[in-house]
Amino acid sequence: MKDFAGKTAVITGAASGFGREFALMGARLGMKLVLADVQPQGLQATADMAGALGAEVRVQACDVRKGEQVAALAEAAMTAFGAIHLAFNNAGVGAGGLVWENSVADWEWVLGVNLWGVIHGVRSFTPLMLESARRDPGYQGHIVNTASMAGLLTPPAMGVYNVSKHAVVALTETLYHDLALVEAPIGASVLCPYFVPTGISQSDRVRPDDVQSASAPTRSQQLSQAVLEKAVASGKVSATEVAQRTFDAIRDDRFYIYSHPQALGNVQRRMEDVIAGRNPGDPYEAAPHVRDSLRAGLKGA
């Protein structure tokens, strides 16, 4: 997809973070925008900022855990603008702690947003994009699914999040192959950011009542939250930079998008462990202070 002007982008998780920056980047490129989130104030703030840049914008409340709401979002985009050219399945939340301490509610919430949100997006947006391609010989489209470096690594005390993001990587790789199989003029990319200052570390503030945990956070969950907040806050790559890299990748038809390519050494070591049949190596080998902090905090817990 080379030309963005006049095209339509649908963005979930648009109230903050990457979603907001995708919207603003799209607005600067002359795109029409359909923005969705569960946070009405943040969503409207993004819409106002994009509108000030000259974009035509529609907003819609959408809990991506609910397939019918994502389908309604897709239909609203078609009704408003007649086609979807760029789909960002971007909404995401985080939860940590020792994997056996996560509640069923933790699993339902994180997988519901991070994985089922992408599944619903792929199921709702892709057929409409394929139909647009059948009607328009010049149609070009692209789907971007937001995963994480946690979709390529397995750091401890992040099990629920790791599982959700590994699944998004696998889903998106399969989507890429399936689109190629039917020779669709639609690209696919997976975004794997590392620690970038966004609202991901405060995800719990938008956690719905139906997936609230009945018990107080465990020691490991508190420690994981503290480590995440510190790591995210200290990130040197901004969400704006990630948005620019994402649009560059769409333009160049690149599948894997990284915020921190220097972290790929850890991914390479993991893959080498898999191929050699070795036990998993230490994912914090390059940052032992993080591992040591977690271990010290859990002693006697």
Residue 300 neighbours by CB distance under 10 Å: 6
Q: What phi and psi, each to the nearest 5 degrees, are found at residue 49?
A: -65, -40
DSSP string, 93-145: ----B-GGG--HHHHHHHIIIIIHHHHHHHHHHHHHHHHHHHH-TT--EEEEE
Tokens, residue 125: 């947006």
CB-hemisphere CA count at 13 Å for 270? 16
284 in active site: no
For tokens 């199989």, the residue is 181
Among 21, 130, 11, 22, which Cα is nearest to 76's?
11
In contact, 35 and 14? CB cutoff 8 Å: yes
Among 120, 104, 114, which Cα is nearest to 211's?
104
Collapse the DSSP code of 66 into the 3-class scheme (helix H, G, I; strand E, B; otherwise coil) and give the result.
coil
Task: Tell me which of 161, 194, 258, 284 is the catalytic residue.
Answer: 161
Catalytic residues: 161
